[in-house]
Amino acid sequence: MLDAMVIISFSIFILIAIQLSNGYDFTCEWYPAKWRALGELKNCYGRQISILNPKTIIESVNGDKDSTYDDIEGFWIENEVVNYVPEKVTTFLPNIKAFGIDNCGLKIITKDDLKPFTKLIRFEVHRNELQYLESDLFTYNKELKFVTVFDNNLMVVGDAILKPLPELTQTQFEIRCLQRLCISRSCVVGMQKQIHDHCQSEQVIIDFKKRIQELEDNCLNNV
């Protein structure tokens, strides 16, 4: 029932919002760095990024439309402007294992955003403006072992969000309804129940519906 309500609300929001398809030249700085539990990876660090619209399509990296970077396994953006996850990242970076967006104003992330990242092992979103994480967010990311989500504005987390992840052994959630760090599979299983018990309350739904209405009103005012 909760997921159906949220899907309807977001559908209304998306229909109201003006969505433009934009080509974008993505700027990467390349250098190795360590990811916790993964060791040292070669990374693309996004620099001078400003993605304000959904459906922004990466059409080149550092001005190059033709090259792919098979040796790059980490993708990290921090202290930039990324309201939405850009499309076609894996056209140029096909082997991303670690994905992170930190303090970039990210407003929404869906399973379709993560679908191209089939090799993903580590996922981190910190200090953004997310309101909701859907139950099916990680549908296409079965290899995930580490998920970290904290300092966002999350009101609702789908109660089945961790269930499709058989390899998940470490996760950290710091959200209004739950704050917990897990470093074992048994702990992750217990966290699934806590999300169901504590993140699906009527008050959470009421607060979330209010926020959706605010977003819809803002969109109407900007049309």
> Helix (H, G, I), strand (E, B), or coil: what is residue 197?
helix
- Taking residues 25-43, report their average pLDDT: 93
| pLDDT value of residue 52 | 94
Percentage of the chain lying above the pLDDT 70 cut = 79
Q: How does strand 170-175 pair with strand 178-182?
A: antiparallel
* Per-residue pLDDT at 3 exceeds 70: no
CATH fold for domain 2-222:
3.80.10
> Helix (H, G, I), strand (E, B), or coil: what is residue 98?
strand
Write the pLDDT tens digit of every residue in 93-119. Answer: 999 999 999 999 999 999 999 999 999
* Domain chopping of the chain, boundaries: 2-222
Using pLDDT thresholds of 50, 70 and 90, give the confidence band for residue 151: confident
**Residue partners of 139: CB distance under 8 A and separation at least 6:** 111, 115, 164
Which among 142, 144, 193, 206 is positioned nearest to 171, based on CA atoms? Answer: 144
Task: Please give the residue that has the higher pLDDT: either 2 or 154.
Answer: 154
Which among 142, 184, 191 is positioned nearest to 167, based on CA atoms? Answer: 142
- Taking residues 134-147, report their average pLDDT: 94
Using pLDDT thresholds of 50, 70 and 90, give the confidence band for residue 124: very high
